[in-house]
Every structure is written in C-alpha cells, then in structure tokens.
Amino acid sequence: MIEVPLYDIAHSRAGDKGNRANISLIPYNPALYPYLAEQVTEARVLALFAHRGATTCKRYDLPLLHAFNFVVDDVLEGGVNASLNLDGHGKTQSFRLLALTVQIPEALASTKT
Amino acid sequence: MSSDTFLVGNGAGFSGDRVDAPIPVVRTLIKRGLPAALFFEVLGERTVALAQLERRANPELGYEPMLERLLAPVLADCFKHRIPILGNFGAANPPAAARCIARLALRLGLPNLRIAVVAGDDVMDSIALDQLPVHEADDSIDISRARLIAANAYIGAEPLVAALKAGADVVVAGRTSDPALAIAPLVHHFGWSLEDWEKLAIGATCGHLLECGSQVTGGVFWDPGRKDIPNPENIGFPIAEVTRDGGLVITKAEDTGGLVDLRTIKEQLLYELHDPSYYITPDVVLDITACTLEQVGVDRVAVRGLKGRPAPETLKVTASFEGSWLGEGEVSVAGPNALARAKATADVLHARLKLRGLPVRARVDLIGVASVHDSDDGALWRAYQGPEPSDIRIRLAAEGATRDDVDQAAREVLALLCCGTAGTGGARWRVTPRILTRSYLVLRERVPTSITTRTAAEIIQ
C-alpha cells in the first residue's frame, strides 16, 4: 500500500445550496471505489472543514456510478449571501477534499485520468 | 436515428455565460435535421432579486442583460427551422424581455415570430410569506424588519408546455425550475403525460445535465495535465438526444472544443444534488441511485436507469430581502519578506477597525497564502508553514448595517498606500449591497400560471 492524495486518483466538483455544500468524489479507476468507501469517511471530511464551522457531513454512496456525494452543513460561512469569503459558493472546496490522502495498493496508483 | 428522436440544446448555463455559445449548438441542431428545441438557463438564486432592483430603477429593465446578444445570431435560424427557444431570461420582467425580443425580430425581418410570456412565478403581491413554512433560510434574517425585494415560485413545465402548444417560437419565463426548461419541449413533442414519472425523470435528468451549459462538456472540469480537454477557449455547449421511449444520450455541438465522457457526466450529475435518491423538482422527484452510464461514441454518453416519483404537492418560493452592506479592499505586497509584511498588515487592519469602533464583522485574506479555503479568523494563513510566497494580495472584507460603516472599513485598506508597510501598492476598494434569501414551501394550487402569446409585430405596434 502507498499513500497518495485523492487528487492523484480521483476528481471532484463542489456546489452550494444556502450554507450547505455538496462535494462529489469520483475515482478514475472503479477498482479504487472500495478503498475510498473505507477511508474517506464522513468524519474525515467533516474534519477537513472544521475550521470553517461545518457541523455535519453526510456521505451518499453511488456504487453503480463509482462515485460519492458528500453533503456538508454549515461549511459556507453563512452561504453566498452572508459569507465574507471571496468564494461564497464554495466552488473551490472540491480541491480541499482532493488534498486528503488515502492508502491504496501500489498497483492501482498509476490511474491518473 | 429514428424520427422518434428529439434534440434539446442548451445555449447558456448562467447569466454571464459565453454569448457566442448558442451559435454552434443551433448550427448542429439544424444539421442533424431532427425536431429540436433550444433553452437558456440564466437565473441563479439571487439573480431575480438583482433584476428586480434594476426594474425598480428602470421599468424597461430587469431581464437578462445579455438577452439580445445571446439571441441575435440564432433567432432567425431557429424560427426558420422551427426550433422553439425557451428561457428564464425574462427574470424579473418577462414582458420587457418579450419587447426586447420583438424589437430584435422586427430588425431581423421576422414580424410573425410568436413570443409567449409566462406569468405567475412572481408571488410578491399574491402570497403572504409570513404564513408559509420556511424551507431554507439565511440565519441572519429578521423577517419582521427586512425589506422584501422579490418573491418567486419555481414553477414547473406545465405553462411552458401550454406556450409551445399555443405555437410559441420563443417562450419567455421568469423563475422556473431549471429542468422544466428541458422537460417542457419533450412533453410537448412526445405527448408524455405530466404524470408519467419515469419519462419526467428522464426529462429532469436531461435538464439537470444541460442546465449549466458547458459544465457537462468540459467547463469547470478541465485541469491542465490531468483532465485535459480540446480547445477550452471554445467549449461546445451540450445537446441531448431523447427518444420517445426514454432513451437519453448527452453529446455536444459539432466542431467545438470540450468533451463528453463518463467523467464530465458524473461530475455534473452529482452537481448541487444532495440525496441522490430524492432530487426534488416541481415536475418529478428524481432518483439517480440506479443510474448507469455508457460511452456510446466520441462525445456521446448514454444515461440509463433513472427513476421518478410523483411531483411534490408544494412548490419552492424563494424570497429575497435587502440585507446588509459589504465593503472590500485589497492591496498587494511582493518580494523579500512579503509574508511578514502581509501578516502585519492583516493585524493592523483588524486593529484599525477596533480603534475606530466601526460596527462591522471583518475578515482578512492573504491571497497567495490562504483565502478561499480559509475561515473568517484566517486559521489557515496564520498556521501557514510552506515556502515564502513572493506575491501576496491582502484583502479585507467587512459587513455592516450601513453603507458608510463598511465604506469606512474598506477605506482603511486605501489608507495603507501611505500608512502601510514598505512596498504596499495596488489598492482597490468597493462597497456593495447584500441580498438575503429565504425559501418557503407553498401549495402549488396557490401559484396559478398563465401565458400570453403574441407575434413580434403585435407586441411592438
């Protein structure tokens, strides 16, 4: 097993509704899906956004699409109408998730697109 | 391709999108020679409120400002080839948008262009908000004191279908659900029932995938060296091929950049979705948990396994209120010791606001160290241990109840041009009003809709 940032093996997009963000996580190689399911937990994703006051994180699993949808509450500092952040919509947050690291088999580490 | 295939093209995914995007979409729709429709989705959550403020200032404004630029290159071709155009580009003033389109049509020699105006989404005067259950709210709204700017219901496909049945070449709506703009031409063409939930689920997915324009064909997807796309300067906007029995293939305009593959579809399918088994639209509740995708050709992905549940009994109403004021100021530092100078500047700005007793909530970002991922207290840039950045922009954002308070706060950044650290420059500052929104649920029978269809010549005479 080797440790890699999610960015090396997966892609992501973030969207907003009020003070709630949804952040998808999609491995390039479907074989990586179970490793992400085990390691990219709701607790780890919530901790990534603790400094912004996020309160809850819910992960929805889509095994047929080999994708996850994280819904994080109270992460957008009040949402686009109230936030002082340049990115009130939180569109850039997908790349904060992609900086998280996971352990994967070395044989699966070369799937970068 | 059987004659039982209908094409849905998208010409814009938000107000501010590339104005030349519809041209290759329409060219492709015509070349394919199949029945087709084109839709424009240009209303974000707050766009109607901003448009309402414009309308207050000038009764002939308050619709999509780029409307004429978007339609001018494609209107005559769409009319000639019987490709109806639907859009929520009416924003806060659909009748004025219709007049704009009518003037354009007359200039293009299309006096018989039929323009339908959809009414009913604006519920500001018809529904008392304080008696409705709240769906989502900005925490800070004191409803008893906030001044209402706009209140609009997200209406579904039904009035849009009625407009197409009335022979409209262009359907001008204000607030609609985004997917309804794609559902309506499909329901009209195929004669689907508005209670055929499986079919409406396919229409809603078609709309959901297309409603953000290039986001399904490579926009906000491309990542140089990792997720490359051809010609990002000319991303082709999406086209859906839908069959009567509910087949759905997503592709894009021909001879353009961008791409359609499993990755772009997955990113957009999950975009702004919460529970994937329960995506609520006014026309159907969509369930994508059994959805599967297949690349069926170059830039062609088939979407299958969509499920629908009955439409909700309520519609979402989003109300916008006058909020507080936002003041922003920025200056730059660069070169040796930039990080220390930037951090000291941030501390001085906070100290100045305190010293002057300005009643504002403030934040300082160090752009180039940490900003968009950071919190209001600057937790990330304060903890930053990485390499010394050589170029940092310091940004103050301050929110307060009065324009003057936040202007004074932002001007503290300007004052740094003389009072700041060595080598401080490039000041900018601005003050903007903020809008607050709150969503309610209202029984759909309380939101009657109507359409008015007239030719361009009749509208302008």
Instruction: Give residue B45's pLDDT.
Output: 82
Return the residue of B nearest to A19 by Cα. Answer: B138
Q: Which of residues 294-333 of B touch A (CB under 8 A)?
A: 305, 323, 326
Residues of A in contact with B138 (CB under 8 A): 18-19, 78-79, 81-82
Return the residue of A nearest to B305 by Cα. Answer: A64
Q: Give the Cα separation of B187 and B183 in Å (integer).
A: 6
Q: Give the Cα separation of B425 and B345 in Å (integer).
A: 12
Subunit contact A60:B275, Cβ cutoff 8 A: yes
Query: Region B108-126: what's the mean pLDDT?
Result: 97
Instruction: Give residue B1's pLDDT.
Output: 43
Q: Give B398's pLDDT tier (boundaries 50, 70, 90).
A: very high
Q: Smallest CA–CA separation between B226 and chain A, in Å?
A: 6
| B134-137/B425-443 β-pairing | antiparallel
Q: Is B14 near chain A, with CB under 8 Å?
A: no
Subunit contact B274:A53, Cβ cutoff 8 A: no
Place of tokens 């279908």: B161
Instruction: Give residue B30's pLDDT.
Output: 98
Q: Which of residues 27-46 of A touch B (CB under 8 A)?
A: 28
Place of tokens 């029978």: B445
Query: C-alpha angle with apex B286: B2 to B184, nearest 5 degrees?
Result: 50
Q: Smallest CA–CA separation between A62 and chain B, in Å?
A: 6
- Under 8 Å between Cβ of B392 and B333: yes
Q: Is A16 near chain B, with CB under 8 Å?
A: yes
Query: Region B296-304: what's the mean pLDDT?
Result: 98
Mention every residue, 6+ apart, whose C-beta is less than 8 A from residue B134.
B438, B439, B440
B interface test, pick of A24, A84, A91 with most B CB neighbours within 10 Å? A84
Q: Give the Cα separation of B306 and B208 in Å (integer).
A: 12
Q: Is A18 near chain B, with CB under 8 Å?
A: yes
Q: Which of A62, A63, A68 is closest to A39 using CA atoms?
A: A68
Q: Give B461's pLDDT tier (boundaries 50, 70, 90).
A: confident
Q: Which of B182, B254, B300 is closest to B23 using CA atoms?
A: B254
Q: Which CATH number fits domain A2-108: 3.40.50, 3.40.720, 3.30.70, 2.60.40?
A: 3.30.70
Q: Give the Cα separation of B229 and B217 in Å (integer).
A: 9
Question: How many contacts, defined by CB atoms under 8 Å, are there between A and B?
Answer: 127
Q: Smallest CA–CA separation between A101 and chain B, in Å?
A: 17
What pTM was estimated for this model as a whole?
0.96
pLDDT 10s digits, B357-374: 999 999 999 999 999 999
Q: Give the Cα separation of B77 and B82 in Å (integer).
A: 8
Four-CA torsion B377, B378, B379, B385, nearest 10 degrees: -160
Query: Who among B270, B375, B397 is closest to A51 (CB)?
Result: B375
Would you state the structure tokens that stand for residue B64, as one six-digit string?
A: 């999509």
- Under 8 Å between Cβ of B298 and A47: no
Query: Who among B220, B270, B365 is closest to A86 (CB)?
Result: B365
Subunit contact B220:A51, Cβ cutoff 8 A: no
Q: Is B269 near chain A, with CB under 8 Å?
A: yes
Query: Region B326-340: what's the mean pLDDT?
Result: 98
Instruction: Give residue A113's pLDDT.
Output: 57
pLDDT of A93 strictly over 50: yes
Q: Which of B92, B37, B28, B103 is closest to B63 using CA atoms?
A: B92
Q: Give the Cα separation of B191 and B199 in Å (integer).
A: 11
For residue B56, which amino acid is it?
A: R
Least confident interval from B67-76, B227-236, B435-444: B435-444
Beta bridge partners of B280: B285
Instruction: Give residue B141's pLDDT.
Output: 64
Residues of A in contact with B350 (CB under 8 A): none
Q: Give the Cα separation of B338 and B356 in Å (integer).
A: 27
**What Å distances lie between residue B227 and B21, B238, B261, B285, B372, CA to CA?**
22, 18, 11, 32, 22
- Ordered domains of chain B (ranges, CATH): 5-123+154-312+447-460 (no CATH), 319-439 (3.30.70.260)
Give the other-Cβ count within 10 Å of B221's Cβ. 22
Helices (H), B58-179: 67-71, 75-80, 94-107, 158-165
